[in-house]
Amino acid sequence: MARRYGITANTYKKFIVDSGAVYVNYGEAGQAKLGATRGGSTFTIETEYRDMPVDGAKGAVKGGRRITSVNATLTVNFVELSASIMSRALPGSSIADFPATVGKTQDEITRTLQIALTDYATNIALLGEVTGNAAIPAVFIVKNALADGNFEIALTDAEEPVLSITFKAHFDPSTMDAEPWAVRYPTIA
């Protein structure tokens, strides 16, 4: 009996390797790398479907399924911390000099209860190296991104704290039928 397997001559050209890098406003004005991570990053698209029941059908019917909600997120575990990264984790926050008068020694992050449209990043993107085309990355993007969830820093002996931020994609009100995420994968010959 012949063995069956999925390996081809191109198999090892189609692996995404290592932890990648996270950017804000990737491909846009103001593009910047956010910081070093530990524990990797996770891109998730959660989709809820509804199978529309019809009398006489004994189960799901081809063409009778629709998407009822989509949530795209990118969870990043930052080991590199800065006022900028921490402020991005707290939508509506701002950074000011401390002390405000003379001799600044720290950045102070505070927040009001208002989230402005300017708090949304055009996108947050995770770029990963693909073994068959290291020059062109695999890109996982959440659009109109805003941090979602709690802010938590734990300081312990002999460890460096990791700030986990989940960036949630948001629909653009001018294009409500376009899901707010994208995946770009390089062409592999």
- 96-155 pLDDT per residue, tens: 999 988 889 999 999 999 999 999 999 999 999 999 888 899 999 999 999 999 999 999
Q: Is 4 inside a domain boundary?
A: no
Q: Is the pLDDT of residue 14 over 80?
A: yes
Residue 1: inside a domain, yes or no? no
pLDDT tens digits, residue range 81-92? 999 999 999 999
Asked if the structure places residue 126 within a domain, the reply is: yes
Amino acid at 171: F
**Per DSSP, what are the bridge partners of residue 139?**
127, 184
* Residue 109 in domain: no
Percentage of the chain exceeding pLDDT 70: 99
Q: What percent of the chain has pLDDT over 90?
A: 89
| CATH number of the structural domain spanning residue 29 | 2.30.110
Instruction: Return d(Cα 125, Cα 34) in angstroms, integer.
Output: 10
- Specify whether the CB–CB gap between 122 and 28 falls below 8 A: yes
Residue 189 has pLDDT above 80, yes or no: no
Residue 97 within a domain: no
| Number of independent structural domains in the chain | 1
Q: What is the pLDDT of residue 17?
A: 92
The values of phi and psi at residue 117, to 5°, are: -60, -30
Q: Supply the pLDDT for residue 138.
A: 96
Q: Which domain holds residue 135?
A: 11-91+118-184
How far is it, in rounded angstroms, from Cα 13 to Cα 184? 16
Read off the DSSP letter of residue 174.
Answer: T
Vertex 180, ends 69 and 118: CA angle to 5°?
Answer: 120
Residue 162 lies in a domain: yes
Query: What integer pLDDT is reported at residue 156 of this predicted model?
Result: 95
pLDDT at 1 over 90: no
Query: Residue 28, SS3?
Result: coil
Top pLDDT among 135 and 182 is at: 182
**What's the pLDDT at 72?**
98
Please indicate, yes or no, if residue 101 is contained in any of the structural domains. Answer: no
Q: What is the pTM of this model?
A: 0.92
100 within some domain: no
